[in-house]
Amino acid sequence: MDVMPKWAEVVLVPLISLLLAAILSALVILGIGEDPVAAVKLMISGALGSTYGWGYTLYYATNFMFTGLCVAIAFHARLFNIGGEGQAMLGGLGVALACLYIPWPHWSLALVGATAMAAIFGAAWAAIPAFLQAKRGSHIVITTIMFNFIAAAVLNYILVNMMRPQGSMDPATARFPDATKLPTLHDMLAPIGINFSQAAPANISLLVAIAACIFLWLLIWRTRLGYEIRAYGHSESAAKYAGISPFKITMIAMTISGALAGMMAINNVMGEAERLVLNATEGAGFIGIAVALMGRSHPLGVFLAAILFGFLYQGGAELALWTSIPRELIVVIQALVILFTGALDNMVRMPLEKIFLTLRSLRAPKPERKPVEPAE
Amino acid sequence: MDYLTLIQLLDSTVRLATPLLLACLAGLFSERAGIFDIGLDGKMLAAAFFSAAIAAITGNVWLGLLAGIAASLALSLLHGLASITFRGNQLISGVAINFLAAGLTVLIAQSWFQQGGRTPSLIGGARFNPITLPFAGQIEPMPFIGPLYAELISGHSILVYMAFAAVPLTWWILYRTRFGLRLRAVGENPAAVDTAGVSVIGLRYAAVCICGVLCGVAGAYLSTALQAGFIKDMSAGRGYIALAALIFAKWRPWYALWATLLFGLFGALETRPDVIEALIGIKVQGQLLGALPYVMTVIILAGFVGKAIPPRAGGEPYVKER
């Protein structure tokens, strides 16, 4: 039987972890001689105080939803995919190829085509480590880390030597044609009378990300495949005994994971930059780890955690703009969130479990004394 | 390619291999004891910053080295706390440590020095300067041996010699001492070690601490010997290359030396595209050469060229049977 009630498991543990991370972050801000309260106020007004701020917050959140889901689905199969960064880079390559070399008549078709290409490229980049894990037994964490570096090198090579327009010094592709321009939230909300900021990069990919959250929830909890993935994650030997193929589950979970990471590119490459640049992912693949851990690998949790990190990102940018606190503060917060919700999970959980056990024994009537010792 | 170019190339190979070697041996101690450590990069980065910062403030590089080791050790203990005491996921803890170091170093550097996340340039006694070995001047004019001794063997900082001395020392500790035997055992079968009445937790903490010290030296080397000062993200993924070298070396000290020298050579070649062109006749892109260690590691790990088998209990927190 579980020691803790479900609400404590789902809400209390992550909340306490988050609180610990927040307290330590505040101490860090104090330590570098700044005022944490003023910093938080500035972050809130900068990220949520205007439609411009919201536009950036939601733009970042869209990235993190994709990468968070990418890590989450792999976690369900007990696979740790650190390769979201590389898979998202390759997704960007897919988007760039789709946008540059196919004459799309309308953005909606371009979106479908680019999404498919992004997903295929990301999935392919994840499928190799998955295959090596399933067939050759090489550790997926190490292989996906190596694949991040290889992806960066490959992309660098392709951008500099192949896709760079003639005469340009910038290691980037040409600008995508106008027909592939995705509608921003401003374009989408204007017809219903909401004047959303025109400068903010949030775009229709946000809806794709939300759809991906719903799709993943359906997949994990409402399909046979999702059941098999979860069963495999809980116990490999039990899953094998039930006739679930470890090879199949590893491959499927990782390809879906890679496809989700790759799909991030429709937001940052197609929606925002409108060309493929070096380091387009800006570490979003790694933030996915924090997002998935905080969201407890549940799509709703990932959605909420992604918005929180979107807020932190935009708020952090504002801090760097108006105070002497560097942007790297966000990296510290991200590290603390990963530490407390991931690695030090038991530090929060163990005392909580003790409290709940004591509470239960206080509340429950004392069991009658029985002469026979319970068998254990 | 003439002889002198070769010597120069090997010279920079040694320089670039040194931090990899130290970090690789650090990872070797930790992983042989069953604690996976992908936080090598973060520990090096933290050590690089604190050694440069303290050396810049005090003007004494040895105090800097101590500060770097202390910083790396602190992160090691955090890793130990998460993965040994609280039996958390060692990989996630390592990821967190990397980000923690990447963020905190810039934050503190900005707060202390206001130079955009770097330390002031180190000069004089605040750096590890090259050591000229005895008779280097006399031997130099000799053909063949002269440049070899004067250019390649002599003229490195003390940390380079320490790193190379650490290889036989690591071998001796691991294979010729009781501590080493127990350390290897705890990575293969912790239950057996526990049954023998030896503390699994104690051994693993010891291994993690040795790892911290070695990473500290590696980081200090980066900022006080290889370069003169700390810059943002200066470890530049070296911790991951060291990890790759560790797999390449199949978790063995002497192999670690050859693996890191090989990866150091790739690094040295990356800066000398003219040498590669002269050597194999075609132009090789630097970016692709930089990715070579990673590609080779993937191939080795997949068992296509010899099998790399990690310590059996690696990554598993030890729970006493109840």
> Each residue of B2-27: pLDDT tens digit?
788 888 888 889 999 999 999 999 99
Of the candidates A149, A154, A344, which has its C-beta nearest B88's C-beta? A344
DSSP state of A37: H
Report the range of poorest mean pLDDT among A227-236, A252-261, B303-312: B303-312
CA angle A251, A257, A260 (to 5 degrees): 140
What does each C-alpha distance from A348 to A24, A287, A352, A354, B298 come to in angstroms? 15, 22, 7, 11, 36
Count Cα atoms within 13 angstroms, Cβ side, for B18.
27
Give me the pLDDT at residue A96, please: 93
User: Over the stretch A163-174, which tens digit does the pLDDT of each residue have?
Assistant: 888 888 888 888
Residue A218 in contact with partner chain B when CB distance is under 8 A: no
In angstroms, what CA-CA distances link B209 with A75, B33, B71, B253, B312?
A: 30, 11, 11, 18, 21
Check CB contact under 8 Å for A343 and B297: no
Smallest Cβ distance to A157: which of B89, B106, B287?
Answer: B287
Closest CB to B99: pick one of A142, A334, A350: A334
**Residues of chain B contacting A325 with CB distance shorter than 8 Å:** 107
Distance CA A94, CA A105 (A): 19
Query: In this structure, what DSSP letter does residue A169 have?
Result: -
Indicate if the pLDDT at residue B142 is higher than 80: no
Identify the closest residue of chain A to B232 by CA–CA distance: A328
Q: Chain B residue with minimal CA distance to A29?
A: B107
Could A343 and B237 be called an inter-chain contact, meaning their C-beta atoms sit closer than 8 Å? no
- Under the banding of pLDDT at 50, 70 and 90, the label for residue A376 is very low
pLDDT over 90, % of chain A? 42
pLDDT at A371 over 70: no
Of B89, B99, B295, the CB nearest to A335: B99
Residue B236 confidence (pLDDT) above 60: yes
Report chain A residues whose CB lies below 8 A from the CB of B270.
Answer: none
Residue A365 has a pLDDT of 65
pLDDT at B67 over 90: yes
Give the pLDDT score at A267: 93
Q: Higher pLDDT residue, B150 or B170? A: B170
How confident is residue A367, by pLDDT bands cut at 50, 70 and 90? low
**Closest CB to B100 among A32, A335, A347:** A335
User: Given an 8 Å threshold on Cβ–Cβ distance, is B93 in contact with A160?
Assistant: no
In a mutational test of the A interface, the residue from B43, B84, B92 whose CB has the highest number of chain A CBs within 10 Å is: B92
Which 52-81 residues of chain A touch chain B by CB within 8 A? 80
- Answer whether residue A374 shows pLDDT above 70: no
pLDDT of residue A1: 46
Instruction: Provide the mean pLDDT of chain B.
Output: 87
* pLDDT for residue B322: 54
* Nearest neighbour of A139 by CB, restricted to B96, B100, B301: B301
pLDDT at B258: 92
What's the token pair of residue B133? 């070995």
pLDDT tens string A190-231: 888 788 888 888 889 999 999 999 999 999 999 999 999 999
Nearest to B89 by CA among A2, A196, A292, A73: A292
Contact in structure between B106 and A326 (CB atoms under 8 Å): yes
pLDDT of residue B23: 95
- How many CB atoms neighbour CB B140 within 10 A? 15
Residues of B in Cβ contact (< 8 Å) with A343: 82-83, 86, 88-90, 92-93, 96
Query: Distances in Å between the alpha carbon of A50 and those of A194, A272, A314, B238?
Result: 13, 19, 12, 42
| A339: chain B residues, CB-CB within 8 Å | 78, 82, 93, 96-97, 100
pLDDT at A43 over 80: yes
Higher pLDDT, B320 or A89: A89
The DSSP bridge partners found for residue A172 are A277
Q: How large is the ipTM? A: 0.89
Average pLDDT over residues B103-125: 86
Please report which confidence band the pLDDT of residue B80 belongs to, taking 50, 70 and 90 as the band edges: very high
pLDDT over 80 (residue B315):
no
**Degrees (nearest 5) of the Cα angle A287, A291, A295?**
175
Please judge whether B103 and A289 are an interchain contact, meaning their C-beta atoms are less than 8 angstroms apart.
no
Q: Give chain B's radius of gyration (CA, Å).
A: 20
pLDDT confidence of residue B181 = 93
Q: Please tell me the predicted confidence (pLDDT) of residue A366.
A: 60
pLDDT, position A279:
84
* Test mutation, A286, A339, A346, chain B, max B CBs within 10 A: A339
Q: Does A329 contact B81 at a Cβ distance shorter than 8 Å? A: no
Amino acid A116: pLDDT: 95
Using CB atoms within 10 A of its CB, is residue A368 exposed (0-12), middle (13-18) or buried (19+)? Answer: exposed
Q: Which of B56-65, B264-273, B302-311 has the lowest mean pLDDT?
A: B302-311
Digit-coded pLDDT (tens) for A117-139 = 999 999 999 999 999 988 887 88
Residues of A in contact with B114 (CB under 8 A): 324
What pLDDT, in 10s, does the model give residues B187-227? 998 889 888 999 999 999 999 999 999 999 999 999 998 88
Q: Decide: A62 and A260 in contact? Cβ < 8 Å.
A: no
Q: What are the structural domains of chain A?
A: 1-27+330-367 (no CATH), 35-323 (1.10.3470)
